[in-house]
Amino acid sequence: MADLILQELERETMRTDIPQFYPGDTVSVHTRVTEGSKERIQVFRGTVIRICGRFGRGSFTVRKVSSGIGVERVFPFNSPSIAKVVIERKGKVRRARLYYLRDRIGKAARIRDKTVEAKKKKPAKD
């Protein structure tokens, strides 16, 4: 009973404008950055390596390599500082947490494309 009340409350305050994406996908997270009194949008583009918890109070981690240095940012789904999330590419991965990408550099850190993979396979069957 207590859990149901909490769930209902979270469902109501949940943001519904964030698209469904999965670990392995490449996303652009448009974040609101306030500098003094001005507000501008900064884009953080990278691979989703972790989705944590349910949509209501969950978070996701995006990893990118910026001038040779790996950068990871954790975004809560409900954060008002997220202006929007754009899914750039769907990736094909076999696990939920892609921590192994941290140990890989360059070509080894690539993730296969989901859509391309599906298109390639279909003609092969005929």
Applying CB under 8 A, among 65, 79, 109, 113 the residue interacting with another protein is 79
Residue of 40, 36, 37, 18 whose CA lies nearest to 28 = 18
Residue 10 found at the interface with another protein (CB under 8 A): yes
Strand partners, 46: 27
Q: How far is CA 39 from CA 80, 82, 84, 85, 120, in A?
A: 13, 12, 15, 18, 44
Q: Which stretch binds another protein (CB under 8 A): 44-52, 67-75, 79-87, 114-122?
A: 79-87
Kindly tell me which residue out of 28, 55, 64, 78 binds another protein, with binding defined by CB under 8 A: 78
Binding interface with another protein (CB under 8 A): 1-3, 5-6, 9-10, 13, 56-57, 76, 78-81
